[in-house]
Amino acid sequence: MSLTVDIPRNRTAPAVARRAVERLAGRVAADLLPDLKLLVTELITNSVKYGPDGPVTLLIDTRGPRHVRVGVVDRGAGFEPRGRARPATEAGGWGLYLVQRLSDRWGMKDGVTHVWFEIDR
């Protein structure tokens, strides 16, 4: 199953993205859904907070109940990923850290703001 959702750039974006992930119920193993929701929420929030005007596109491709590839694309020119530089007690800055820790693979496409991750367990 492939799913493409254009998400408006506003404060409802994370909830809209989570509802899109919920549409995978029954096609993706139930124990993967919480991690998928968390990671999608983090990436959508980053795009809304730091990206340019216009919608954010959520791309989801299920390759089986335990293999999902997700992409989040905004109209930005890309960015240089940086490690978390704040103390653990400070809020924010956990998005890419969580993607790295909870996904099996992740990366970015050069020249655009397109972050992707895969969960394959």
CATH of the domain at 59: 3.30.565.10
Structural domain span for residue 111: 2-120
Q: Looking at the 3D structure of the chain, how many domains does it have?
A: 1
What confidence score (pLDDT) does residue 89 get?
Answer: 63
What confidence score (pLDDT) does residue 10 get?
Answer: 92
For residues 14 and 41, the answer to whether their CB atoms sit within 8 Å is yes
- pLDDT band at residue 2 under the 50/70/90 scheme: very high
Per-residue H/E/C for 12-71: CHHHHHHHHHHCCECCECHHHHHHHHHHHHHHHHHHHHHCCCCCEEEEEEECCCCEEEEE
What confidence score (pLDDT) does residue 87 get?
Answer: 61
What confidence score (pLDDT) does residue 111 get?
Answer: 73
The predicted-structure confidence for 28-64, as pLDDT tens digits, reads as follows: 999 999 999 999 999 999 898 888 888 899 999 999 9
70 backbone dihedrals φ, ψ, rounded to 5°: -125, 140
The structure's pTM equals: 0.88
The predicted-structure confidence for 91-121, as pLDDT tens digits, reads as follows: 667 788 899 999 999 998 877 788 999 999 8
